[in-house]
Structure 1
Amino acid sequence: MWWRWFPWKQLVSRAARARGVMDHPELASAYQGMDVFAFASRTETQGMVVTEAMAAGTPVVAVDASGVREVVRDGENGRLLPREDLEGFVSALAWVAGLSPEERRRLGEGIGRAAE
């Protein structure tokens, strides 16, 4: 997994969970329970998981790549970061975590429109 080389491995391992394979109802519930969906893939850039997370109203922080940029609008309904910007990716995760409930609600409204 990507956090094996991540400098803040201990911090991430306390906050992130790897759940394995889930059925659809369990997956939808998991997306809705997330504070943020981090998508750092450099090769699978059209993953349906981004759209699924957005459809659940979950903010997305992703690597800027074709496919992802079709649905994520930086600052409007999530964050897009250059592939090599690890610090920016971490900062974007912190940005989402620091949103007020009202800001999160507005971000969720933008997410719903983009995922439709």
Structure 2
Amino acid sequence: MPALKTTRAIGHRVIDAVWRLGLAARFLAMTLLHSGLSWRRFPLIVKELFSSGVMSLIIIGVAGTFVGMVLGLQGYETLKRYGSESALGSLVALSLVRELGPVLAALLFASRAGSAMTAEIGLMKA
């Protein structure tokens, strides 16, 4: 009977996940329906999302790479003193994924997108 309980628990989790996905899709559909989104301007919206979102990934990736390298170098020197150099990979991976990565990505995205929009506004003629 433990296998039945496990199967039932997995089934409940899958059903719950599908239910939440359906709620999110319904929310998105209702938001788009009631937002008054002009479909004539949809290409402009996609262009703006691309320039502010996708183009920020390059900067975030480069900065994350260099932060990871610096963290690896400093972590190696510290872990070498205690003879536990083998833990360096997990130290860098966990600290970047859990702590530094989201903060760094949010700061870089906000600064890049904000400066790009500010430059666009500054170039407008009165």
What's the TM-score once normalised by structure 1's chain length?
0.24
Bigger helix share: 2
Q: Which has the higher strand share?
A: 1
TM-score (norm 2): 0.22
The structure that has the greater radius of gyration is 2
